[in-house]
Amino acid sequence: MLLSNIKNKIKRRTWDKLVFRLRNKALYPKIYKSYWHACYHKPGRAEYPVNYYTAVPNPGAGIGHQLANWIAGYWYAGQFGLRFAHIPFSQEKWETFFGFSEGEMTAEELIKKHRYQRVLLPLFDEFNPDEIAQIKKIIHSYCDKKVVFIAEQDQFYRDQFGVMDDIKRKFHQAKSRKDDHLIYSKDFFNIAIHVRRGDVVNREKTDNPNLLMRWQDVNYFERVFSTIMENIQTDRPIAVYLFSQGERGDYPEFEKIENIHFCMDMGSKDSFLHMVNADLLITSKSSFSYKPALLSNGIKVCPKMFWHGYPKTKDWILVENDGSFDSRQLLMH
């Protein structure tokens, strides 16, 4: 078993390196069996089976990244006229917590029990008509077979709010909600602030653009919070909860905030849950707070410059890199 796992890891890493090197070359789609199937197979049946699409939540990534994978799978299933097949998150605690599998067929069940064929698809640019057409051609070539189409790892989908209503329904109706415990009091207007640190703290020691683009200074959050406090309309006293990594002493700027709670030792699952349930959530440039925002029924105040999109509704307020935003938007709530 151990030897098999090692072999699978080596195979996966070798494949990932190949995809990375060839992705922007004309040769790239030709490394997939599904590409050649589309070139030579002509479907011959009049009545076609129901086929599925899915994406693997990257087991080597954080839960925000894994959610982006899952959401992309759910979204593209609909876009390609396929049904969605669920693949679990890498940790059982998150799988149970989200409850997204409830009411869904799993890819494993389809393949092992119902004898569906597993077919890997090439990466595609969602804004490139030629690449989209190629994927549709591949999918059509299998329409006389029972197939679960597997997205290549980390297939990107920018505007993840496209499935927001569905994932909100799934999350808030999940069986696991009966086990939720919040430290919030309903007597207060609860503001959650997520400050991304961890992997971006040592940004000055790296030239990795992915880390550099994620950094936000504490001054950004101070300005956002100050504008909110000057303009928010609520008949309840305000309680503030800071979610981040490190020690309380790392954030002396926040000590002056009245009724603030430093949630530095709270686990990731409980932090996620509290961000979802805040009356107002201030997110950072992080999937770990963007995903709770998608599930939240409260006000979301988010960095405008981000790699995923936002819906154009009044409960989403977008902020410039310097922490400024149109405070009149708060008067609409």
Q: Give the pLDDT of residue 211.
A: 47
The alpha-carbon radius of gyration of the chain (Å, integer) is: 22
Give the range of the structural domain holding residue 199, as residue numbers without chain letter.
185-332
Q: Are residues 156 and 203 in the same domain?
A: no
The CATH number linked to 236 is 3.40.50.2000
Decide if 11 is inside a domain.
no
Q: Are residues 30 and 174 in the same domain?
A: yes
Decide if 14 is inside a domain.
no
Q: Are residues 26 and 173 in the same domain?
A: yes
Decide if 9 is inside a domain.
no
The last residue of one of the domains, among 178, 202, 225, is 178
Beta strands in the chain (DSSP E): 52-54, 83-86, 105-106, 117-120, 147-150, 189-194, 238-243, 260-262, 280-282, 299-303, 316-319
| Consecutive 10-residue averages of pLDDT for the chain (333 residues) | 75 94 96 97 80 96 96 98 97 97 97 97 98 97 95 97 97 97 97 74 48 65 93 94 85 88 94 98 94 97 93 95 89 69
Q: Give the pLDDT of residue 2.
A: 67
Helix 33-40 / helix 129-141 crossing angle, nearest 10 deg: 70
Q: Are residues 87 and 213 in the same domain?
A: no
Q: Give the pLDDT of residue 202.
A: 43
The last residue of one of the domains, among 126, 149, 178, is 178
Q: Give the pLDDT of residue 201.
A: 42
Decide if 311 is inside a domain.
yes
Q: Are residues 112 and 222 in the same domain?
A: no
Strand partners, 207: none
Q: Give the pLDDT of residue 128.
A: 97
Q: Are residues 273 and 151 in the same domain?
A: no
Q: Are residues 138 and 66 in the same domain?
A: yes
Q: Are residues 198 and 72 in the same domain?
A: no
Beta strands in 34-111 (DSSP E): 52-54, 83-86, 105-106
Q: Give the pLDDT of residue 212.
A: 46
Phi, psi of 268 (to 5 degrees): -65, -40
Q: How many domains does the chain have?
A: 2
Q: Are residues 233 and 317 in the same domain?
A: yes
Q: Give the pLDDT of residue 207.
A: 56
The last residue of one of the domains, among 126, 153, 178, is 178
